[in-house]
Amino acid sequence: MEIEEFIKKEKKAKKLYYIYAENTYLRNKFKKEFMQKFIPHSIRDFNLAKVNPGDEYLKRLYSAVQTPPMGAEKRYIISDFDDSDSLNQKQKEKLLEIFKGLSTSSTLVFLTANKLDKRRKFYQALKEIAEYQEFEPPRYRDLDKWIMERFQKYNKKIDRQSLKILENMFSNKLEILNSEIEKIITRYPDKDKISYYDLKEIISREKFIQDEEIFKFLDLIGDKKTDQALLTLKEMLNKGVYPLYLLTMLKNQIELLMQVKFYSQYTHNNKKIAAKLNKHPYPVKKAMKRSRNFSQKELEQILAEILRANRHFLTGYYPNQNTALEMIIIKSVSY
């Protein structure tokens, strides 16, 4: 269920909302939509508390939910946990006690980036007392639609090439993607359709060049064009792209080739494979073509080489990472 759809169906604020959304953009969106519908600006100064993790968190949360509303029917408390925040088992038990002790004059919105294990007692107890909802970022097959809708909101369209570039650059990191889209909209207020050349003007040129060259580099590796891949690699390294970042990108590419090659034994439909892998069909289609250049054993050997190199990079084993990366590429594509 989408956040807008969920908020729309809520006629009256309940006592407790437990909201899971790994993505910060979605948690912020829920807060914004919820506040707009249920918390008038006129009562926010005295009847809206934001209690986030930190020292004596549970004590502060307990105090906030026990404070009665002032001059209003309800008091609202919002608490937001990101992926670096967590509670131990004893603290979770205390949290449940706070949840159970909520009065009818309080509404607590608890947002978290940490997904619950639904086999645990905490979830079983929670679902009896809370409105529990999970909101996931759009997966690759839905990301096209999400991006287009963001532009349509401002009465704009985006061409296919530009859409794919945004996906390749930012994946479904919605905070960054939304920020870049807003930059584009602000830069071209009178333009009805956004093109590839418009993107080059507004998106950080360093980021644009880096990502475009990295994808070209990965294509060359996938096609086993060693000489051209090394030339592209040297150009990127001369521009200051970090070797470890390139190694990580290459690892992701090889893993995708391995996955696609495995599933292509059962189907040659790239959309079905993409659905299995939770990926966008476009990179899967390209990976299917590239994977024909390698056997599964070759891909496993390349990945092992990359993981070994990654350990050496992190431990400082290679004094010259640029040269080391070139040697890894030569060795990898020679399998």
Task: Looking at the structure, tell me whether residues 221 and 308 fall in a common domain.
Answer: yes
Measured distance CA(269)–CA(267) in Å, rounded:
5
- HSE-CB for 321 with a 13 A CA cutoff: 19
> Which residues pair with residue 18 across a beta bridge?
110, 132
Task: Looking at the structure, tell me whether residues 190 and 239 fall in a common domain.
Answer: no
Picking from 182, 203, 224, the residue at the C-terminal end of a domain is: 203
Task: Looking at the structure, tell me whether residues 130 and 12 fall in a common domain.
Answer: yes
Picking from 101, 134, 167, the residue at the C-terminal end of a domain is: 134
Q: Residue 65: give the domain boundaries.
A: 3-134
Task: Give the model confidence (pLDDT) of 234-253 as tens digits.
Answer: 887 777 666 777 777 778 88
Measured distance CA(150)–CA(63) in Å, rounded:
40
Residue 151: name the closest of 192, 187, 196, 207 by CA: 192
- Pair of tokens at residue 63: 């105090």
Alpha-carbon 279 to chain mean position: 13
Q: Which DSSP symbol is given to 12? A: S
Taking a C-beta distance cutoff of 8 angstroms, is the pair 87, 110 a contact? no
Task: Looking at the structure, tell me whether residues 105 and 184 fall in a common domain.
Answer: no
Task: Give the model confidence (pLDDT) of 7-53 as tens digits.
Answer: 999 999 999 999 999 888 999 999 999 999 999 999 999 999 999 99
For the whole model, what pTM was predicted?
Answer: 0.59
The CATH number for 269's domain is: 1.20.272.10
Q: Which residue has the higher pLDDT, 270 or 151?
A: 151
The CATH number for 172's domain is: 1.10.8.60
Task: Looking at the structure, tell me whether residues 113 and 168 fall in a common domain.
Answer: no
The CATH number for 78's domain is: 3.40.50.300
Number of domains in the chain: 3
Task: Looking at the structure, tell me whether residues 288 and 238 fall in a common domain.
Answer: yes
